[in-house]
Structure 1
Amino acid sequence: MPTPSLPAIDQLLLQRTPLVRRTIGLVAGFAAMLLALHVWNLWTSRQAVLNDTAVSTANMARALASHAERSIKIGDAVLGEMVERAEHGGDGAALLRIHERLQAITSATPELQELFIYGADGSRLATSLPSTLPGTNADREFFRYHQSHTERTTHVGKPIRSRSTGVLTIPLSRRVNRPDGSFGGVVMASLKLEFFGAFYDSFDVGRSGTILLAIDDGTLLYRRPFHASMVGTSIANGPVVQLYRKAGPVGTAMLVSNIDGIERLYSYRHLDGMPLLVAIARSQAEILDGWRGTVVNTSAAVLIAVSMLAWIGVRMVRQLRAREALSVELQRARAALQAHNLSLQALADSDGLTGLANRRCFESTLAREHERARRNGLPCALLLVDVDHFKKFNDRYGHVAGDDCLRRVAGAIAAGTRRPTDLAARYGGEEFAVILPDTNADGARAVAETIRAAVAALGIPHADHPAGHVTVSLGAHAARPALDGSAALDWVRAADALLYEAKATGRNRTVARPA
């Protein structure tokens, strides 16, 4: 009979309704969770792309700053020689020798466009050009600057177009004094803008990226993409200069350019001891191009997954595999970017002339090894190495030969540090440093003598050296900071004092003793 069966059917319907609701709720909840996770993943991957690019641009800015510093220091060294010759010159024969010397320097230095020595009235006394042109440069900004400023440091002037060649250049200049200290003229070395442009073009900043070189007062020296009309204009009110004035010498931020209105991720760096600012930037749109492709792909996949949740099955597995493949590709891209960052870091930590670690890398390594020695109770040694009579070598053979000498000496020093934990670095000028972890005074002396002998074995001729060839003097200091409480700076002072003793007692020797 049907009547008794009705309560059983109603019972089944009542039981089915909560199950359907629970299923709908479960599917809806799972879909909402999946969508939330998807949005979170997109956001974090976006931040990761921006962060990785920020690290990359910061490293590139460090490389740009190192390049500019090297170029300015080369110009500064040339100016130093020019001031010496200008203040201690003589008759026409001396000026002829100066002229020949300036031509030799310019031909051997790709950064330099022209060299000039000006008299107190702005007339050209000597030049690297084939002949001395008539006229005066007393109206130039750099000349007027030195007329009113007595300091003898190098001045980075506003960019100019050469009246001799028509080439855009950056003038570096120094004041020349008469014997009584009054103004006697100016020496000027001009750096080619195109030299910086060629280097900047080697960086991949995308179609809408940019690279800037400016004086820190906002005067633009170079901008990629290059437009000659922009050289010398002011970007003092631009976002990069404003950020530098607020945040300090190093920074990274997303900024909108006043020039073209493009939003870019900028990394800038102010040169140490120089009034220059470098910046590099990639457009946000290009940085996120790949990420947007990932957004489209993963969003489509998630929507398919959500629509197929009621069906549950193979398509979900296929979608997960697609997501996994996308994740692998993203990891590969990230690994490649990290490898690129490491190569830029290595470039920023190495000395451009010798290939050894630079001063920055040396100081950070010394602090780290000092802390490790203090913590573990182990000894650590520091060598300071100085090339004997190097100024006389430079004066006799020239800066090009001097650079080659430093490279060969650096090779001998590097060969003497055989352990992976040892660090050989260029400390400055003709001075080098070697960090020897887990090494006592006897070990430090042995390594120092190996280096000294290796340099002597090079047999680099040095006519102004009593030995007739290039030698080095070394100061070797070993310490146990856990016992003597010495600081890393104390090691440098002690090694420097020992180096001074080695030079004072005859050079071409090692003076070593423990703390």
Structure 2
Amino acid sequence: MTLLVGSLTLMAGVITSVVLYQSYKQVEHISVNHTLNVARIAQRSISRNMELLSLALDSLAWRYRHTQLHRMPAQQQLEFLLGEKIEAGYIAAQGIIDADGERVVGSPVLDEIMPGNFSGRDFFDGPRQDARGTLFISSPQAVRLERRAQVIVLSKRLVHVDGSFGGVVFMVLYLDYFRQLFEAMSLEKNAVMSLYSVEGVAYMRLPYDEAFIGSRVENAPQLQKLLAASAPAEGSYFTRSQQDGVQRLYTYVRVPQTRWVVFIGHTKAALFREWMRMFYAVVFLMALFSTAAFYLISRVREELFRRSKLDQQLEEQARTDKLTTLLNRRALDEVLQEAWHKCQRNDSARFAVLFADVDFFKLYNDTYGHKAGDYALVAVARCIKGAVSRHCDRAGRYGGEEFVVLLDEADAEGAMHVGKLILAALQAQKIPHERSPFGRLTISIGVACLERGVHRSVDEIIKAADEALYQAKHEGRNRVRLYQATAKVVPAEWQLSSANS
């Protein structure tokens, strides 16, 4: 009995230890993902605002090159150039510098915070040496207005008509922007959040310490390694802070189109507080083996169920076209093959295929832009979904502006009816298309039905529907055509006239 009890106790201890270790790693994994997600939120906010400010500088450069600018009075020039305000609460000043480093125009406050020639300043020399015209971000600088403040300067290169350096457009941004952004992240009490450049220069840190701004990383080889250009774009690690000696989980994410890296550090004690409580509870309840086992097994089952649901969601996403939410090409090929094999097993089974193509779509993209083209494809997909109402039918994006619809147990009449519904639904959308003879967005559809003894593969049915589509295009578009094996393509069954649009 002692041996049995000892064996059971040892087994319970081994099982408990294994489960505790797995749960520890799971908490660690969840903590890493959660912290990375918070860092990504900050990263995207910074990236989006830097993009907006870059566009604001482009707008300022465009206004500077305005042909009527030099005919305006000085005050009107200033209002014309600097009248537009982007994120005005965080922008201290804006201005334009010529190729010699002299200020051409700028906010009046520049006389106080940045007097004199700008040659030799990093935000002037950087764009002058970099012909790519990208956004340059200066090192932190301290200025004094009503109070002492930390700022950075964003600048972009101006070029002459011949491509030579013509000066710099710039704006001065308060670092309080990053401070308020980080404070809005609602981190735990002892967490830290910081922003470094890849050169190791500190731009912001919470808890806030003004002396930290502008300092460089020293005696921190692991951090310097992560800041290197060859380091991954994001990651995590455990280490003990040099500032306060607290062990933390640090995650980092690089900010695209900048040389910045966002760091977030959560204390290990806070991250694993719940896990430690569970650990003590399990140790205390080891005598009650059955209860503890049931509790741990239920936890494992919940985790397996969660992962199973996640796998199902990922599988569904892998079969769906991201833009239109219809089936993608791979999933469409699978359902077509399934329909073909079903008809091979059952002589009474049948199906029809609709092959649709948006008319003059390239001209639509060229006229309205690719974003509008995406919206148009989404509208077409919505019309197809509305027309294909049976659960057994499938619709998918075949590629580009082409769509395929599989109608299970449908004859030619039923398939033509569905094609009519799609054309009518798209006509009701009244999407303008000025380069189409119909004046609006239209679609052509080819229909093919399974012909036993004629079609030897599903590819031949697709090809037949494609030939009917080609005939519909040839006869003027905006119509449905039915393919027949004996006479290739029968006369047009139905067409929406442009007069009814």
Q: Same fold (TM over 0.5)?
A: yes
Q: Give the aligned residue type for 2:63.
A: R
When the two structures are superposed, what TM-score results if normalisation uses the length of structure 1?
0.59
User: In structure 1, how many angstroms separate the alpha carbons of the residues matched to 2:208 and 2:440?
Assistant: 48
Q: Tell whether 2:118 aligns with 1:137.
A: yes
Q: Give the aligned residue type for 1:273.
A: Q
Q: Give the aligned residue type for 1:122.
A: G
Q: Tell whether 2:223 aligns with 1:224.
A: no
User: In structure 1, how many angstroms separate the alpha carbons of the residues matched to 2:440 and 2:78?
Assistant: 36
**Alpha-carbon spacing, 1:282–1:25, altered in 2? closer, same or farther (3 Å):** same
User: In structure 2, how many angstroms separate the alpha carbons of the residues matched to 1:145 and 1:279?
Assistant: 26
Other-structure match for 2:106: 127
Query: Once superposed, what is the RMSD of the aligned Cα atoms?
Result: 5.0
Q: Tell whether 2:284 aligns with 1:300.
A: yes
Other-structure match for 1:43: 21
Out of 249, 264, 275, the residue aligned to residue 280 of structure 1 is 264
Deviation track 1:126-182 (CA, whole Å, cap 9, x = no partner) reads 234578665333342111223433332221221223465643223221122344544
Contact 2:95 2:171 in 1 (8 A): yes
Equivalent residue pairs, number: 384
Kindly state the Cα deviation for residue 67 of structure 1 after the two structures are TM-superposed.
Answer: 1.1
Q: Give the aligned residue type for 1:299.
A: V
**Alpha-carbon spacing, 1:102–1:112, altered in 2? closer, same or farther (3 Å):** farther
Q: Give the aligned residue type for 2:254.
A: H
User: In structure 2, how many angstroms separate the alpha carbons of the residues matched to 1:242 and 1:77?
Assistant: 33
Gaps of 5+ in 1: 1-22, 306-315, 342-360, 391-405, 423-433, 457-464, 466-471, 485-515
User: In structure 1, how many angstroms separate the alpha carbons of the residues matched to 2:426 and 2:175?
Assistant: 43
Contact 2:158 2:168 in 1 (8 A): yes
Other-structure match for 2:192: 210
Q: Give the aligned residue type for 1:124.
A: R
User: In structure 2, how many angstroms separate the alpha carbons of the residues matched to 1:33 and 1:370?
Assistant: 51
Other-structure match for 1:199: 181
Please give the secondary structure, in 1, of the residue aligned with 2:72: helix
Please give the secondary structure, in 1, of the residue aligned with 2:258: coil
Please give the secondary structure, in 2, of the residue aligned with 1:205: coil
Deviation track 1:358-411 (CA, whole Å, cap 9, x = no partner) reads xxx987999983432343349798989869689xxxxxxxxxxxxxxx9x9999
Other-structure match for 1:173: 155
Greater RCO (CA < 8 Å, at least 6 residues apart): 1
User: In structure 2, how many angstroms separate the alpha carbons of the residues matched to 1:420 and 1:156?
Assistant: 49
Please give the secondary structure, in 1, of the residue aligned with 2:15: helix
Kindly state the Cα deviation for residue 415 of structure 1 after the two structures are TM-superposed.
Answer: 8.2
Contact 1:210 1:224 in 2 (8 A): yes
Out of 330, 334, 337, the residue aligned to residue 371 of structure 1 is 330
Other-structure match for 1:235: 217
User: In structure 2, how many angstroms separate the alpha carbons of the residues matched to 1:269 and 1:160?
Assistant: 24
Please give the secondary structure, in 2, of the residue aligned with 1:153: coil
Q: Tell whether 2:157 aligns with 1:189.
A: no
Matches within 5 A, 1:97-496: 97-101=76-80, 103-106=82-85, 109-110=88-89, 112-129=91-108, 135-162=116-143, 166-235=148-217, 237=220, 239-243=222-226, 245=228, 246-302=230-286, 305=287, 316=288, 320-321=290-291, 369-377=328-336, 453=431
User: In structure 2, how many angstroms separate the alpha carbons of the residues matched to 1:219 and 1:331?
Assistant: 47
Out of 57, 66, 70, the residue aligned to residue 48 of structure 2 is 70
**Alpha-carbon spacing, 1:370–1:447, altered in 2? closer, same or farther (3 Å):** farther
**Alpha-carbon spacing, 1:326–1:42, altered in 2? closer, same or farther (3 Å):** closer
Contact 1:126 1:132 in 2 (8 A): no
User: In structure 2, how many angstroms separate the alpha carbons of the residues matched to 1:300 and 1:92?
Assistant: 85
User: In structure 2, how many angstroms separate the alpha carbons of the residues matched to 1:476 and 1:268?
Assistant: 48
User: In structure 2, how many angstroms separate the alpha carbons of the residues matched to 1:367 and 1:218?
Assistant: 47
Pick the structure with more helix per residue. Answer: 1
Please give the secondary structure, in 2, of the residue aligned with 1:297: helix
Kindly state the Cα deviation for residue 47 of structure 1 after the two structures are TM-superposed.
Answer: 0.7
Q: Tell whether 2:62 aligns with 1:84.
A: yes
Kindly state the Cα deviation for residue 299 of structure 1 after the two structures are TM-superposed.
Answer: 0.7
User: In structure 2, how many angstroms separate the alpha carbons of the residues matched to 1:437 and 1:65?
Assistant: 37
Please give the secondary structure, in 2, of the residue aligned with 1:105: coil
Deviates more, 1:207-216 or 1:232-241: 232-241
Q: Give the aligned residue type for 2:119.
A: A
Kindly state the Cα deviation for residue 78 of structure 1 after the two structures are TM-superposed.
Answer: 0.9
**Alpha-carbon spacing, 1:114–1:42, altered in 2? closer, same or farther (3 Å):** same
Kindly state the Cα deviation for residue 57 of structure 1 after the two structures are TM-superposed.
Answer: 1.9
When the two structures are superposed, what TM-score results if normalisation uses the length of structure 2?
0.61
**Alpha-carbon spacing, 1:477–1:298, altered in 2? closer, same or farther (3 Å):** farther
Q: Give the aligned residue type for 1:123.
A: E
Gaps of 5+ in 2: 311-319, 338-354, 387-399, 407-417, 447-457, 461-501
Kindly state the Cα deviation for residue 119 of structure 1 after the two structures are TM-superposed.
Answer: 2.8
Q: Give the aligned residue type for 2:61.
A: V
Contact 1:118 1:126 in 2 (8 A): yes
Deviation track 1:17-53 (CA, whole Å, cap 9, x = no partner) reads xxxxxx1111111111111111112111111100111
Please give the secondary structure, in 2, of the residue aligned with 1:75: helix
Deviation track 1:201-234 (CA, whole Å, cap 9, x = no partner) reads 2224322322232222222222222212222222
Q: Tell whether 2:5 aligns with 1:27.
A: yes
